[in-house]
Amino acid sequence: MELSRRIKSLPRYLFAELDRKKQALRQQGRELIDLSIGDPDLPTPQGIIDKMSEEIRDPRNHRYPDYEGLLEFREAVASWYWRRFGVSLDPSTEVMALIGSKEGIAHLPLAFVDPGDYVFVPDPGYPVYRASTILSGGIPYTLPLREERGFLPDLRDVPSEVAARAKVLFLNYPNNPTGATATREFFREAVAFAREYDLIVCHDAAYSELYFESPPPSFLSVEGAKDVGVEFHSLSKTFRMTGWRIGFVVGNAAVLSGLGRVKTNVDSGVFNAIQRTSIWVLQGNMDGEVEGWRQELRRRRDVMVEGLRSLGFKVEPPKATFYLWLKVPEGYTSRDFAERLLEAGVVVTPGVGFGEWGEGYVRMALTVTEGQLREALRRLREVKL
């Protein structure tokens, strides 16, 4: 059987390749410290599990959900957005439930991108931005994220003839994989750019609550942002609910309506029991748990930054996310360095897997215990570079 051209044109999904290598080593009896995947190691908080146990027994939750999500869930999202960001949202038109934010990000270009249209994709960046563009027939246009610019794209570098043919601008702050944050000033630049070229801004804010300094702003908190864009969010990282697959998108009503037309044809919404559990979560019942999670990640970050610096690496502590974006030693590519660490039983993600501008870096996820991080540092100390 012949695969379609669009599937053939997709880059190989980085994490699938890593999984195969890890499985092969584990079959050989190797004990690995896996710093490659951004999946929290601590379990979902017990309070969330207990609430879900109640909701799953309620027969009203056993029927098909609405594709846009329960109105009560959308109201809870709107209330949370107002408390956290000071952003006012209409739950009936400006909030939509998602089967995790990845699902919404992947589906949105299908609603607005025609074959031959450009889509602005940050590089390095979450691979789904590029993949969803290709699957919609669009052309990914790379926006380099350079360290000297704080890993913010320079929108002034985009040729006007390209911008005139573009439909979507993907942004992601706090950023995966770099850990960078964005200012309101940058978001204002993005709004002005989108207005000038009639673009949809899609801001992925999945890591907004995993911060170590001042809370990062919402893109929608900037004047005019709702006129040109939407913001994707998720309960996965904040509340350690990665496997639950619950997220949401908020903002421009017309954009949500277009995305909704895709969703009505390809999915059946989020299980109502998960939505009702998430209502309880968004009402603030887990705020103390989230603060504890942030403090745990801060401790892990500080252990790794101090340890890596003692080994001679130049590394800046990220202001948010649970990632370290580490420059590889001179003479190594990101793949070479990742392979070298793999020999020592430490798994990291080569930066080139996030795009060509990720070359020269590796990403380390702080999603193992402090003891495992210290063991990883011990193993790194023994690696001859």
CA angle 200, 202, 207 (to 5 degrees): 165
Residue 256 in this model has a pLDDT that exceeds 90: yes
Average pLDDT, the chain: 95
Tokens, residue 106: 């992947």
Report d(CA 195, CA 218) in Å as an integer.
Answer: 18
Radius of gyration of the chain (CA): 21
Report d(CA 217, CA 85) in Å as an integer.
Answer: 7
* Contact residues for 296 (Cβ-Cβ < 8 A; gap 6+): 42
Tokens, residue 344: 């020592």
Domains and CATH numbers, the chain: 5-44+288-382 (3.90.1150.10), 47-285 (3.40.640.10)
Residue 364 in this model has a pLDDT that exceeds 80: yes
Over residues 293-302, the pLDDT tens digits come to: 999 999 999 9
pTM, rounded to two decimals: 0.95
Residue percentage of the chain with pLDDT more than 90: 88
Mean pLDDT of the region 168-180:
98
What local confidence, expressed as pLDDT, does residue 14 receive?
A: 63
CA nearest to 128, candidates 199, 225, 256, 232? 232
Mean pLDDT of the region 245-252:
98
Report d(CA 193, CA 185) in Å as an integer.
Answer: 13
Please provide the size of the chain in residues.
385
C-alpha dihedral sign at 19, 21, 26, 32: negative
What local confidence, expressed as pLDDT, does residue 15 receive?
A: 65
Tokens, residue 198: 């009639």
**Which run of H or of E encompasses 275?**
helix 272-280
